[in-house]
């Protein structure tokens, strides 16, 4: 493929991106239309690939291998699902992409079908390049609802004995190499008390009230982290945070509620262990709350369940994978990033690839500020910069030879 201009990508790349955006792959729905289109696109070129499905068979990951080589390969990773458009004030059809004033509009244009489409557009070049390592394409489902699909993809690779050396996750970073984001641990706490008529309140155990005490304690830990935790000023919020996002309990004003459910999260710095935070919350419940509850109702209980586990991503500016991505990126972005690490506030699949032993970096076209909102868009110049990135990769840009598998933590 000929190199794009600095401001406009090739017609072929734009056509592929438009086709991907046109698939309404909202996380609650199937992504098979997009996956099967991609499967057929690659199969026509003789590319070996694997699909891994969810339990119901309505969603799938795709893992393809472009070329061969004596060294472990490089993964280009993207998620196929997008967030809903319900209730948003769009001025155009979110799944009928439109080009206006140097921008491409449509749900997923920024997050992150432009990266996937650009990588697919360079398939023939990767196949013809004769690289000494394969290029792998990894497309996942349900990233937006907890990075669910990629876990099955990684498990399948492990079972097949496949261990790529590195991974570029193409989330929208403005084509800057990003080396870190916080982790997310989400928990559900179910509190069981004892029902009673509100006129006989002392005979019951009010699950909502004990939930309130637990929530206050969670807030106290959050305040302590804000005041005392070591800072990481690469992040907008330079410390770990706790948030109680959902509380449900009770059936009527004149009934002492037996049950209450609390859902809370910890967004933690890579240096913080979320298990220690949960252990402290659980210890408080067992030490302070349960004895009081069981003095009235021996059957009372407090149970914690983890419902989200998105590990932190933590690399550095000097890592070979970071420097390799900087060498591939737009020269201006690479110059700005030289010698320093960039961090983002949002979570990605990068920590899971890193946990699987791959040297990982975030680098992709567009900006997160343009994603998840009405009239989502990406600048055509960003897609062009991503094409230049892929072009350097197809030309065998130096640096990947220094990247080796990362030992799993």
- The answer, yes or no, to whether residue 74 has pLDDT greater than 90, is yes
Q: What does pLDDT average to over the chain? A: 93
CATH number of 11-180+312-402: 3.40.630.10
Q: What is the pTM of this model?
A: 0.88
Q: Is the pLDDT of residue 409 over 50?
A: no
Looking at domain 183-310, which of 3.40.50.1100, 1.10.4080.10, 3.30.70.360, 3.40.50.720 is its CATH number? 3.30.70.360
The predicted model gives 22-26 an average pLDDT of 98
The pLDDT > 90 percentage for the chain reads 88
For residues 175 and 365, the answer to whether their CB atoms sit within 8 Å is yes
Question: pLDDT for 209-238, tens place per residue?
Answer: 999 999 999 999 999 999 999 999 999 999
Query: In the chain, where does the domain assigned CATH 3.40.630.10 lie?
Result: 11-180+312-402
Contact 179, 339 (CB under 8 A): no
Selecting among 111, 143, 349, 376, the annotated active-site residue is: 143
Specify the pLDDT at position 159.
96
Q: What is the pLDDT of residue 408?
A: 47
Question: Does 197 have pLDDT greater than 60?
Answer: yes
pLDDT at 407: 47
List every span in the chain annotated with CATH 3.30.70.360.
183-310
- Tell me, yes or no, if 236 is annotated catalytic: no
Annotation says 143 is catalytic = yes
Q: Determine which one of 81, 314, 349, 375 is catalytic.
A: 81
pLDDT at 71: 87
Cα–Cα dist 372/276, whole Å: 32
The answer to whether residue 339 scores a pLDDT higher than 80 is no
- With beta carbons less than 8 A apart as the criterion, state whether 349 and 143 touch: yes
Kindly give the interhelix angle for 32-43 and 11-22, rounded to the nearest 10 degrees: 150
What tens digit of pLDDT does each residue of 140-156 get?
Answer: 999 999 999 999 999 99
């Amino acid at each position: 493929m000929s190199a794009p201009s600095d401001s406009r990508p090739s017609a072929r790349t734009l056509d592929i991106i438009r086709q991907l955006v046109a698939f309404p792959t909202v996380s609650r729905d199937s992504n098979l239309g997009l996956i099967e289109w991609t499967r057929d696109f690659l199969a026509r070129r003789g590319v070996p690939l694997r699909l891994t499905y969810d339990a119901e068979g309505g969603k799938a990951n795709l893992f393809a291998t472009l070329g061969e080589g004596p060294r472990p390969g490089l993964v280009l990773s993207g998620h196929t699902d997008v967030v809903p458009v319900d209730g948003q004030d769009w001025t155009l059809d979110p799944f009928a992409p439109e080009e206006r004033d140097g921008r491409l509009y449509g749900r997923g244009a920024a997050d992150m079908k432009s990266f996937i489409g650009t990588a697919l557009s360079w398939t023939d070049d990767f196949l013809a390049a004769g690289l000494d390592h394969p290029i792998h394409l990894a497309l996942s489902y349900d990233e937006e609802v907890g990075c669910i699909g990629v876990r099955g993809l990684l498990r399948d690779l492990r079972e097949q004995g496949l261990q790529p050396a590195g991974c570029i996750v193409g989330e929208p970073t403005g084509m800057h190499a990003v080396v870190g984001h916080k982790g997310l641990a989400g928990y559900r706490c179910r509190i069981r008390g004892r029902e009673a008529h509100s006129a006989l309140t002392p005979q019951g155990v009010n699950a909502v009230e004990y939930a309130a005490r637990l929530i206050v304690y969670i807030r106290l830990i959050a305040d302590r982290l804000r005041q005392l935790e070591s800072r990481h000023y690469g992040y907008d919020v330079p410390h770990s945070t706790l948030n109680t996002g959902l509380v449900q309990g009770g059936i009527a004003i004149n009934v002492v509620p037996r049950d209450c459910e609390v859902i809370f999260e910890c967004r933690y710095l890579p240096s913080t262990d979320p298990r220690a935070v949960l252990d402290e919350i659980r210890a408080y419940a067992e030490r302070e709350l349960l004895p009081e509850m069981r003095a009235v109702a021996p059957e009372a209980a407090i149970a914690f369940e983890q419902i989200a586990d998105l590990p932190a991503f933590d690399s550095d500016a000097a890592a070979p994978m970071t420097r390799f991505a900087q060498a591939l990126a737009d020269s201006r972005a690479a110059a700005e990033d030289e010698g320093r690490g960039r961090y983002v506030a949002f979570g990605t699949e990068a920590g899971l690839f890193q946990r699987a032993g791959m040297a990982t970096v975030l680098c992709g076209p567009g900006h997160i500020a343009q994603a998840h909102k009405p009239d989502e868009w990406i600048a055509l110049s960003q897609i062009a910069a991503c094409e230049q990135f892929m072009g350097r990769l197809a030309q065998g840009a130096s640096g990947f030879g220094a990247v080796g598998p990362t030992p799993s933590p």
